[in-house]
Amino acid sequence: MTVSTSFGDYTLHSVIAEGGMGQVFLASRSGVEGFRKHVALKCLHPHLTHDLQFVSMFIDEAKLAAQLHHPNIVQVYDLGAVQGRYFIAMEYIDGVDLGTVLREFTQRGERLPVALAIGIIIELLYGLHYAHSKKDTAGAPLHLVHRDISPQNVLLSREGLIKLTDFGIAKVASRSIRTATGLLRGRLEYMAPEQANAQTVDFRADLFAAGALLYELLSGQLMRQNGNDTALLDEVRAGQLPPFDIVPQVFVPMLTRALAFAPEDRFADAASMAEALAVAQPEARLRTHEAVARLLQTVPLPVLKAIHEQSARPVATDTSHTPAARPVAPPKRWAFPFLPVLLLVLAGLTIAVAIRVFAPVQSPVQEPMAASLPLEVSAVSPTPPAIAATGYLSVNARPWARVMIDGKLTGRSTPIHQLPLVAGPHHIKLISPRAGQDIELTVEIEAGKTLTKVFTFK
């Protein structure tokens, strides 16, 4: 039985992740007319609420992440405190982290498809490029660095979205965060040499980590596998790299550049690295979201459960600063008399069949056909041939963009040539990961004709 707990304006349902600073809950917030929105609620551990440094870091994370609005970055909605326990309400991603996917493939003795691996890294890089380029309200660069790029911080949703999360140890030029113990923060397996050597760190440290993750996706193993922490730290500081003979050779130049010891020898920015990968693997841009969605159909989702289902752990874990948990009763089976209702349904079906059999036969023109037709064709007269009601759309964008038509992702990116569409109005949305912008418009498709549209994002 799932246990739910009230937490301010939110209801906590289950624990979906734990970290050194706090827990992440699957939560919901209710509104008028039955409105309810699911969020991921990151709560600071109760024993840390009295540590001013941790509280300050937690608040800084929320303020920082709330400024980031990009398709490849998890959105932050709210910051608050309940009975002294601070929380961040974030976008809930119904899926798994990339680390879970990699473990599943390792157990199978398989590797991710190359095009899918490159597609994931490209999406990640565009999210990073947006964050690295972010400016404050006065127009001054924030010089934001994530500093913890790893599979656990790359989330994949059931819909096929790729999202970067956890800017909790990010660093802004205006404020340097150090731990009380002075220990390095981040995962050594993906850490750049300058970060391990406690030198000045900028966005190029994230490019190094992205290169280490790229190596892992292509090779099926960690770039650094030394189990001894001290030896591993020495290896990172020295910039030692494994041979690249177990990855496809076409990507060796990109790996060599991303993993260069000197930051100035790496890519100029994350977008440049993404473009280099796209040139080496052109099909990586195509249907990445569709491929991720299909992938998650084969990967178990161990802890992400729907409300009122059995969760991995009850929410009562580590809630010493919250009101006592109250149980949610499971839904009752057959809360209405089953047999009488069944008899009524059977009687209704019998009457409907009798009416159908004995009613006068209508002409084919009067027979209602729209309900049996596909949704997009139901408003079109079935009399003309299908080709007479079909037109074509060609669309391009600079930089490239994903294309949505009538609210649905096409699984394709620009350029698109002569995409067949039913004649009539269609809502088009272009999503540019690189520009971090969207363009929306309504177009009129004419039967038998091609409409061409070209867009340039600012």
Residues 9, 51, 60, 148: which is the catalytic one? 148
User: What's the rounded Cα separation, in Å, for the pair 428 and 406?
Assistant: 6
Which secondary structure element, helix H or strand E, spans residue 341, and what is its range? helix 338-358
What are the C-alpha distances in Å from 184 to residues 10, 74, 196, 219, 316?
34, 25, 7, 27, 32
The shares of helix, strand and coil residues in the chain, as percent rounded to the nearest 5, are 35, 25, 40
User: Which element (helix H / strand E) includes 36?
Assistant: strand 36-44
186 touches 208 (CB < 8 A): no
Residues 152/164, Cβ–Cβ less than 8 Å? no
Nearest to 239 by CA among 301, 299, 290, 196: 196
Pairing, β 450-456 against β 390-398: parallel
Q: Are 204 and 171 in contact (CB under 8 A)?
A: no
Q: How far apart are alpha carbons 155 and 299 in whole angstroms?
A: 13
Residue type, 269: D
What is the C-alpha separation between 309 and 13, in angstroms, rounded? 10
Question: Would you call 136 a catalytic residue per the annotation?
Answer: no
Give 334's contacts (C-beta < 8 A, 6+ positions apart): none
Dig out the tokens for 400 from the structure: 């490239």
Smallest CA-to-CA distance from 243 within 226, 266, 262, 224 is with 224
Angle separating helix axes 114-132 and 270-280, nearest 10 degrees:
160
User: DSSP state, 2?
Assistant: -
Bridge partners of residue 4, in order along the sequence: 326
| Residue corresponding to tokens 């569709």 | 290
Active site residues: 148
